[in-house]
Structure 1
Amino acid sequence: MNASRGLATKLCALALLTASGGLLASACADNESSLFVRMRMARSGDCTVSCSPGELFWTEDAIDAAYVGSHSATILVGNQIVERGNSDVLRTETSRVQLYEAEVRVFDMEGNAVNDGYVVPINGVVDPGTSSDAGYNCTEVLLLDGATMDALRLQAAELRREVEVVTTMVLRGRTLGGQEVETAEWSYPVRVCFGCSRCVDTIPPTCCSDSSSEDCKDQEDVESACPGRRGTQDCRNLGQTCAEYIASFDR
């Protein structure tokens, strides 16, 4: 038994010495440290995102399930695999990571599963790190799919209060050198309500469903919130008055 352990130790030590650029065989290193989720990026006033660890981020999302059928978030992903390319010896860079899927699960605040989990495609290339600094890029991840949103909408409507859940995700990618990598599981809270946002009807209310008449043409648009934040709703985006729209969920 001791001889076997000694042999395994020597083999891993040999792999550590011969691995080029610090990219280790999966038998000797845990790839969860190579690729990681840094944070959920915030959206600025025009709802754009800057993909950098120095930019603003959000610590939770708050959405109204009456007005969204699913919910996605922009996630900043880091790559700690160091650069391996070398133009002097014509060695190509193989440490960039191509993201390809996310496994998402949703739990209530007691840890009970809200859904069975799902896997969704993602995209983006994360550049390798330089020295002690990781490389970064963003990817869009579906935090709440349609089926999960339907269940949370029903629950929030029945309870007449918001429902708090935690989404967990594991992101997976593949280096240009062919090595599979994935992040450790990362959690993010989302608060879901039903009909708690302010909804504005036009004057006259008939413009909600038909804004082509002369009485409706000069009305100002209602400024909406960025995805991930609750905001005022415009009845013209619903095609009916606010009351009619909310009542349609009871049919």
Structure 2
Amino acid sequence: MTDEGEGPVASTSGLARRLIALALLTASGGLLASACADNESSLFVRMRMARTEDCDVTCGPGEGFWTEDSVDAAYSGSHSATLLVGNQIVQRGDSDVLRTETSRVQLYEAEVRVAYIEGDPVTEGFVVPIAGLVDPGTGDDAGYNCTEVLLLDGATMDRLRGEAAELRRDIEVVATVVVRGRTLGGQEIETAEWSYPVRVCFGCSRCVDTSPPTCCASSASDECQDVDDVEGTCPGQRGPQDCRNLGMTCAEYIERVRP
């Protein structure tokens, strides 16, 4: 009788243990998924900051921003943008108990992938160092700071330059960025992917030669000293180019850099 009773009891006990283990595993999986989601939402890229007429940048969620960049690859070997990064981690510092603030995030690198507007990759992705310290938010408001991120590196720009010159039209690409940082408490954290469109052309900007054109290469002579300056544009926008910044006439320069 005893042997017959112990079999079912042992079997039921083993089944219960397995069910409990499965429940714990499911619960822990849910916690891990939640932690990953929180990690990507705690740090985020909000927008690409605009530049003023003086090409300065003011950081803040209420400042101006751009929704697209336009780059002339004939005059740019690479392209960077100033991104506004937000930090939603809860403040942990408390001066009453001498507890330091560990929720500030030190930004240290960005991973960038560039793809054509249709979705195909342009080149392999790259990782670049960045800098910036983002304070934690207060209440329901995130803390913010800016960081400069290379969107198109030299290899990517070289390829786009060749395609734009050959096709004689804009090449539309999307730069997708993941920003990584580390809290002062030692926690690794990164943003979700943030994507930004960039148009690349070759020689589409207006280039201005001086009068006489010999002043392009040298402005030492008396006839070149009173030549008016050409008002340029900020990185991320297309605008007029001054031949004196190129050291030669516009035509000579374009022929030199043409792929």
**TM-score under structure 2 length normalisation:** 0.89
Q: Establish whether residue 89 from structure 1 lines up as the match of residue 97 from structure 2.
A: yes
How high is the sequence identity, in percent, across the aligned residues? Answer: 72
Q: Establish whether residue 190 from structure 1 lines up as the match of residue 207 from structure 2.
A: no
Partner of 1:29: 35
Rg: which structure is higher?
A: 2
Q: Establish whether residue 3 from structure 1 lines up as the match of residue 27 from structure 2.
A: no
Q: Give the letter for the 1:218 counterpart.
A: D
The CA distance in 2 between the partners of 1:150 and 1:9, in whole Å, is: 49
Q: Tell me, yes or no, if the aligned pair for 2:210 and 2:243 is still in contact at 8 Å.
A: yes
Structure (1/2) with the larger helix percentage: 2
- For the residue of structure 2 that corresponds to 1:29, the secondary structure is helix
- For the residue of structure 2 that corresponds to 1:136, the secondary structure is strand
Note the C-alpha offset of 1:47.
0.7
Structure 1 segment 160-199 matched on structure 2, within 5 A: 160-199=168-207
Partner of 2:15: none
Q: Establish whether residue 206 from structure 1 lines up as the match of residue 219 from structure 2.
A: no
Q: Give the letter for the 2:182 counterpart.
A: R
Q: Give the letter for the 2:35 counterpart.
A: A
> Which consecutive aligned stretches of 4+ in structure 1 deviate over 4 angstroms post-superposition?
8-13, 25-28
Q: Establish whether residue 78 from structure 1 lines up as the match of residue 86 from structure 2.
A: yes
RMSD over aligned Cα atoms:
1.7
Note the C-alpha offset of 1:10.
6.9
- For the residue of structure 1 that corresponds to 2:35, the secondary structure is coil
Count of equivalent residues: 240
Q: Establish whether residue 99 from structure 1 lines up as the match of residue 116 from structure 2.
A: no
**TM-score under structure 1 length normalisation:** 0.92
The CA distance in 2 between the partners of 1:28 and 1:52, in whole Å, is: 29
- Is the alpha carbon distance of 1:211 and 1:70 closer, same or farther for their aligned partners in structure 2, counting shifts above 3 Å? same
Structure 1 segment 235-250 matched on structure 2, within 5 A: 235-250=243-258
Match of 1:220 among 216, 224, 228: 228
Q: Give the letter for the 1:128 counterpart.
A: P
The CA distance in 2 between the partners of 1:132 and 1:186, in whole Å, is: 22
Q: Establish whether residue 67 from structure 1 lines up as the match of residue 105 from structure 2.
A: no
The CA distance in 1 between the partners of 2:71 and 2:107, in whole Å, is: 27
Match of 2:133 among 125, 129, 138: 125
Q: Tell me, yes or no, if the aligned pair for 2:69 and 2:237 is still in contact at 8 Å.
A: yes
- For the residue of structure 2 that corresponds to 1:215, the secondary structure is helix
- For the residue of structure 1 that corresponds to 2:226, the secondary structure is coil
